[in-house]
Amino acid sequence: MTITVIGTGFVGVVTAAVLARHHTVYGLDIDEAKIAKLRQGLIPFYEPGLEDLVQEGLNSKKLIFTTAYKEAVENSDVIMIAVGTPSATDGTADLKYVKAASQALAPHLKKRAIVALKSTVPPGTNDKVKRWIKKHTDQSFHLAALPEFLREGSAVKDTQSPDRVVIGATEPPVIEKLLKLHQPLSGDRLIVTPESAQMGKYTANAYLANRIVFINQIANLCEKNGADISEVVNVIGKDTRIGSHYWYPGLGYGGSCFPKDVMELASYAKSVGEGMGLLVKIDELNGQRIHQKLREFSKKSGGFKDKTVAVLGLSFKPHTNDLREAPSLTVIPYLQKHGAKRVKAYDPEAMEEADRFFRQVVFTDNPYEAIKGAEVIILLTEWPELVNLNVSKISRLAAPQAVFIDTRNQYQPQEIRSAGLTYIGIGVL
Ligand code: UGA
């Protein structure tokens, strides 16, 4: 089968590279510089395993990066739209890139091609796309929704072996073709309407975001009464109705999806005359959390004024160099605003990216360099390299009686305390 994936952002490149193992795939973008780099196997972001996969596709010539709509679309049985849908000022999903892609692909469609929306969009978007395309072609074509559920940091694995492949389509030949397209991938197949597929995507993200906000609230209570949040998670997790995953407390969710999708769903609710209540509250509580925690950390560690602070982990989660809505973007300016003498920082992959965001931060070559002389150490991202540090070495290098703030509960409080440091965790005393 021949496929075009429009948009070579995160989702587009991963999808194109994974599918090129089994089909001929055009990765299409209007950004010529980006396409030139991709043709050389250069990926504009860090994602484990992706570079090798792209190279494999380029070598086999089954992965073709192009800026030419005609070349790609006229050969394709399925055209996936995977462009960005940033939030508009009113919080709704801005469909301008989806519209531009629909208009550009329309004149080149071959008969009965399937246009599938992979971008995260509200239900009802398929009808809009159909209208936009119809204005530019008389060709017969079909529409479908193919939402994605991949996570940054494990995107290749998530795409090759997803929990489920959701096919939002109603016409039998379309369903058949999309099943064939996904046949080499594992995971359950769910055939639903396009509206259910798109609601399912927003619902999954909003629910996961809700879970994080909820467990963070419970963590706050644990800090008041001496309960240990990880023990509480064990207690609830054994209930099969609840489950033990995705209850990991911290400074709140970040990244490019949850903050945006929660508010887009809220705006969608408003647009159809429904209340935004819970969704807006999720966003509000998550947004407030990091400042509340920073005030508490400051109080517990005697303030940050005139101190050297080591910040470990800058990306919003491990195994990515993505800093979008990362805790570091709030934590570092807060430290600087509250008088920290020096902020030293280390991240295994995000240093280059971080250099664009932070001023007057000393980036170090390894975590121990950052810790040297620090009166406060803050672990923000649970990179494997950062959760296995040698505690006695930390205590030797840091300033005497340094404070260790473990925002990801990766260290044993007792071990840190025995090494002569003050330990502050989340949801644990
Ligand atoms: C999320 C979803 O998990 C994917 O299923 C979805 O496809 C993707 O958004 C998307 O819409 O494209 P992602 O943003 O890559 O994926 O990252 P997650 O691993 O879900 O983490 C999101 C945020 O929640 C991070 O800040 C993470 O630290 C935080 N988190 C996650 C917690 O604080 N606790 C947890 O238990 C899990």
The pLDDT tens digits of the residues spanning 210-239 come to 999 999 999 999 999 999 999 999 999 999
| pLDDT for 116 | 98
How many angstroms separate the alpha carbon of residue 240 from the centre of ligand 1?
Answer: 22
CA-proximal residue: ligand 1, atom 17 (nearest): 151
Ligand 1 atom having least distance to the Cα of 320: 15
| pLDDT for 169 | 98
| pLDDT for 89 | 86
| pLDDT for 101 | 98
pLDDT in tens, 175-194: 999 999 999 999 999 999 99
Q: For residue 244, what pLDDT band results from cuts at 50, 70 and 90?
A: very high
**Average of per-residue pLDDT across 41-57:** 97
CA-proximal residue: ligand 1, atom 10 (nearest): 257
pTM of the model: 0.96
Q: Ligand 1 pocket, 383 CB below 6 A?
A: no
Q: Ligand 1 pocket, 211 CB below 6 A?
A: no
Looking at every residue in the chain, the average pLDDT score rounds to 97
Q: Ligand 1 pocket, 276 CB below 6 A?
A: no
Distance CA 51, CA 49 (A): 6
**Average of per-residue pLDDT across 8-36:** 98
- The token pair at 402 is 């340094």
Q: For residue 241, what pLDDT band results from cuts at 50, 70 and 90?
A: very high
How many angstroms separate the alpha carbon of residue 153 from the centre of ligand 1?
Answer: 10
Percent of the chain with pLDDT over 90: 98
| pLDDT for 264 | 95
Ligand 1 atom having least distance to the Cα of 245: 36
| pLDDT for 316 | 98
Which strands sit side by side in the sheet containing 113-117, from one edge to the other? 63-66, 24-28, 2-6, 78-81, 113-117, 141-145, 164-168, 188-192
Checking if the pLDDT of 91 tops 90, the result is no
CA-proximal residue: ligand 1, atom 18 (nearest): 151
Q: Ligand 1 pocket, 362 CB below 6 A?
A: no
SS (H, E, C) the chain: CEEEEECCCHHHHHHHHHHCCCCEEEEECCCHHHHHHHHCCCCCCCCCCHHHHHHHHHHHCCEEEECCHHHHHCCCCEEEECCCCCECCCCCECCHHHHHHHHHHHHHCCCCEEEEECCCCCCCHHHHHHHHHHCCCCCCEEEEECCCCCCCCCHHHHHHCCCEEEEECCCHHHHHHHHHHHCCCCCEEEEECHHHHHHHHHHHHHHHHHHHHHHHHHHHHHHHHCCCHHHHHHHHHCCCCCCCCCCCCCCCCCCCCHHHHHHHHHHHHHHCCCCCHHHHHHHHHHHHHHHHHHHHHHHHCCCCCCCEEEEECCCCCCCCCCCCCCCHHHHHHHHHHCCCCEEEEECCCCHHHHHCCCCCEEECCCHHHHHCCCCEEEECCCCHHHHCCCHHHHHHHCCCCCEEEECCCCCCHHHHHHCCCEEECCCCC
User: Does residue 257 have an active-site annotation?
Assistant: yes
How many angstroms separate the alpha carbon of residue 286 from the centre of ligand 1?
Answer: 13
Checking if the pLDDT of 240 tops 90, the result is yes
Ligand 1 atom having least distance to the Cα of 381: 28
CA-proximal residue: ligand 1, atom 33 (nearest): 253
pLDDT in tens, 304-334: 999 999 999 999 999 999 999 999 999 999 9
CA-proximal residue: ligand 1, atom 7 (nearest): 149
Q: For residue 90, what pLDDT band results from cuts at 50, 70 and 90?
A: confident
**Identified catalytic residue from 25, 78, 215, 257:** 257
Ligand 1 atom having least distance to the Cα of 120: 11
CA-proximal residue: ligand 1, atom 8 (nearest): 151
| pLDDT for 243 | 97
